[in-house]
Amino acid sequence: MGVAGSPASAVSSKRFLFLFSDTGGGHRASAQAVKDEMARLYGDAAVVEMVDIFVEMRRWPFDRFPELYPVAVGLNGIPWHVGYHLSDTMPMVRLLSGAVWPYVGPSLCRLLEQHPSDVMVSFHGVPNAALLFARRKMMLRNPFAIVTLDLVSVHAGWFTPGAHLYIVPTEAARQRALRAGVTAKRIRVIGMPTRRSFVEIRDMTQTEARDRLGLPQDRPIVLMIGGGEGMGPLVPVVREIAGCRPDAHLVVIAGRNQALYNALRALDVPVPLRVEGFVTNIAVWMRAADVLVTKAGPNTLAEAFIVGLPLVLYAAIPGQEEGNILHVVENHAGVWTPRPRAAADAVMDLLAHPAQRSAMAACSQALARPYATEEIARHLWDLRR
């Protein structure tokens, strides 16, 4: 493999341990994006191992987190909301992590022993305090970085002091880190990691993207996504939008949610509707679209900013995604429409007013950080013992 970053060709390889979990689609997508970028920049010199920390710890119920997460989050679910806010202080993070430590500590230490690394990176907010306990117990001295994956309302768990580097996507996130007690010199405001395909897609025209996907050229495309797990009331949203009979082609990406996929395929609506399951070429789908109706997931938003899509936010996970709504709305990149009827009205409005749509698209693009992944990869590479 070619080495794009010249310094790497002269130095020996480095092992990176990327800790993530499949709780939602975003942690894996982000870790994979940085891994791919390290391969592009440093070739075989960067040896990156990706580990689902909860699954590999093999401690119930943590090892079931990927399956339980979509159920536990249950959009607008009060228990998640309350739990999120109650635990969102540093004393609570330490207390809870300390409480589970006797149970998970040995497994976590075993996991770190089995995956030795020169640089350890966390792409998850939950395990960081426990990881810091484990590092102290094992006297690990290798650099530890945390790549934060929420835009604004970042949970305190991401900012447990003690890591060498905290990479955050926005100034609002930096302020949260400072309030949590992280030293200013350890924080870098860079952006969300997104896949390289979102940089490359800027060379593709909308016409080409539609050709590639077999989508029509003669009408606007309204794309709908509920994150990796197809969360939120997408069926009523689709029904409401279709019921308005827009002169548009609707596309829904159901992600890994098979029940949603089946329900959408069974819908009888008066406008053209394409339903997809989990796709690996989201960048092309976004490039083909004129409007994105989405859950306020941080990764999907960061991707949509790069493509410059006007946004209709139909749902947000309580707690961690609430700040994303403000980020989008205050920057005029989109609207917040938590009811299906309001989402349909917003879509109809944008379809009827191309100038308004273009202005919103420009505001969305103004929030883009297309080269964040490259910068993150370079910062991680530069971490030394």
Please give the residue ranges that form the binding site for ligand UDP (CB under 6 A): 24-26, 29, 225, 227-229, 253, 255, 278-279, 282, 297-300, 303
- Token pair in block for residue 372: 């964040």
163: Cα within 13 Å, side-chain hemisphere: 32
Task: Tell me the closest approach of the beta carbon of residue 279 to ligand UDP, in angstroms.
Answer: 4
- Token pair in block for residue 243: 């019921």
| Residue 280 DSSP code | S
Task: Tell me the closest approach of the beta carbon of residue 282 to ligand UDP, in angstroms.
Answer: 4
Residue nearest to ligand UDP (CB): 297
CB closer to ligand UDP out of 29 and 145: 29
CB closer to ligand UDP out of 235 and 351: 235
- The alpha-helical segments, DSSP class H, found in the chain are 6-10, 26-42, 53-57, 65-73, 78-86, 90-114, 128-138, 171-180, 197-200, 206-213, 234-243, 258-265, 282-288, 298-307, 322-330, 340-352, 354-366, 372-382
Task: Tell me the closest approach of the beta carbon of residue 20 to ligand UDP, in angstroms.
Answer: 11
Task: Tell me the closest approach of the beta carbon of residue 344 to ligand UDP, in angstroms.
Answer: 21
Task: Tell me the closest approach of the beta carbon of residue 63 to ligand UDP, in angstroms.
Answer: 19
CB closer to ligand UDP out of 142 and 294: 294
* 384 phi-psi bin (left φ>0, alpha ψ -120 to 50, beta other): beta
Which residues lie below 8 Å from residue 89, measured CB to CB, with a gap of 6+? Answer: 156
CA 222 – CA 236 distance, rounded (Å): 15
CB closer to ligand UDP out of 296 and 361: 296
CA 86 – CA 77 distance, rounded (Å): 15
CB closer to ligand UDP out of 25 and 310: 25
Reduced to 3 states, what is the DSSP secondary structure of residue 19?
strand
CB closer to ligand UDP out of 42 and 285: 285
Task: Tell me the closest approach of the beta carbon of residue 320 to ligand UDP, in angstroms.
Answer: 9
Task: Tell me the closest approach of the beta carbon of residue 367 to ligand UDP, in angstroms.
Answer: 15
CB closer to ligand UDP out of 41 and 201: 201
Which residues lie below 8 Å from residue 15, measured CB to CB, with a gap of 6+? Answer: 47, 48, 49, 116, 117, 118, 119
